[in-house]
Structure 1
């Protein structure tokens, strides 16, 4: 490799520094950068612990966001919309023993099954989108981005880990998904609280009307 390597198709990565063989230098796919790290040498019969290679910073024009990370961040809002469509009608039934009680199946409406099914669907989509997001970060030049498998534990864990690493390689950038997640959480709590209040009032009013009749 020459110092400029014009027109080279060599992928980005750490390569022997052409100016000093004791070091490796980061090649971003187009030109050498200022990021340098010691080369690892091992004498015969000696053990040398691996030296972690630092993550080079991204160019200012390199994008750090993509549709996949925003889909992971904003999908909980869709679940809230499905929650709002679930408006069960409580019914009273009289058992053979003459006891009046609430019909336990009255709450299982189509909207209920839609809400439950969407939760599993969104979980799978969050893992899939985390995988695609990590692939996009690798193509953008992010070294060792946060692994997508953390999304199996929680989409929140992936968003936080991903944002921390991106912020390291792109200072002052990469944290917007965390702030968006906080905003989505607050909105979800407020909407869910209002829905639960209306839900309880509706249940009491329906049961009270049924008992009186």
Structure 2
């Protein structure tokens, strides 16, 4: 026959729910106690928190946000120049249609010089846009560096600034998870990006529609 070892003294579940009773090793006693609640499980914190009051923005992040805004201004100037060039070409075309003798080399050379001048300005503006692009990458790097100095252990990598507006968005998300705030650069960057795209689409569509309408109107008069 097998031998069952005696139950050691200790607290064991009682018949009442949530209660424990003391077993002295030989018999149940009158001592009871409530069953302790289980200790909460500590969940690992993937984003360490910064001290309250830590700045969430640096001057460089606002420079990153402002770069596309400056690019929008250059885009508008380029669109205006393109509109003027197309209007000038259309006016010259109309003159040639009504007066064939107006197509002498002097007038054509003047048109070519004027058009080449506008194209040169447009190329310079495009070069300026490229410089702004590089400045945005530099500003993102400086912002990434200063966030580290402020105590942010987790930071969105500055190289994402090559894809606008990914850096301000990702950076704001990571900062918010550590500081509880700091999302305004993200919303500003999104608003500027949407405005830039809509401006280019609407303006280009309007200019092309006006050009083709005037062109076909002129051609229909001589058909």
| TM-score (norm: length of structure 1) | 0.59
1:76 is matched with: 68
- Structure 2 residue 154 is the aligned partner of structure 1 residue 162: no
- Structure 2 residue 198 is the aligned partner of structure 1 residue 190: yes
1:60 is matched with: 52
Residue 159 of structure 2 is aligned with which of 138, 141, 149? 149
* SS of equivalent to 1:128: helix
The Cα of 1:115 is off from its aligned counterpart by: 3.2
The Cα of 1:139 is off from its aligned counterpart by: 1.0
The Cα of 1:111 is off from its aligned counterpart by: 3.8
The Cα of 1:209 is off from its aligned counterpart by: 8.2
Partners in 2 of 1:188 and 1:196 — Cα distance? 12
C-alpha spacing 1:193/1:161, structure 2 compared with 1 (3 Å): same
Structure 2: gaps (5+ residues): 1-41, 94-102, 104-111
The Cα of 1:194 is off from its aligned counterpart by: 2.9
Q: Deviations over 1:58-83 (max 9, x none)?
A: 22321111221112123222222112
Any conservation in 2 of the 1:138–1:145 contact (CA below 8 Å)? yes
Residue 200 of structure 1 is aligned with which of 208, 215, 223? 208
The Cα of 1:164 is off from its aligned counterpart by: 1.7
The Cα of 1:125 is off from its aligned counterpart by: 1.0
* SS of equivalent to 1:124: helix
C-alpha spacing 1:140/1:199, structure 2 compared with 1 (3 Å): same
Partners in 2 of 1:194 and 1:161 — Cα distance? 29
Any conservation in 2 of the 1:127–1:155 contact (CA below 8 Å)? no
Residue 131 of structure 2 is aligned with which of 112, 116, 121? 121
Any conservation in 1 of the 2:61–2:140 contact (CA below 8 Å)? yes
| Aligned length in residues | 153
Larger of the two Rg values belongs to structure: 2
Greater helix proportion: 2
The Cα of 1:118 is off from its aligned counterpart by: 2.5
* SS of equivalent to 2:165: helix
Structure 1: gaps (5+ residues): 1-36, 38-51, 95-102
| TM-score (norm: length of structure 2) | 0.57
C-alpha spacing 1:76/1:169, structure 2 compared with 1 (3 Å): same
RMSD: 3.4
C-alpha spacing 1:200/1:170, structure 2 compared with 1 (3 Å): same
C-alpha spacing 1:83/1:151, structure 2 compared with 1 (3 Å): closer
The Cα of 1:205 is off from its aligned counterpart by: 6.0
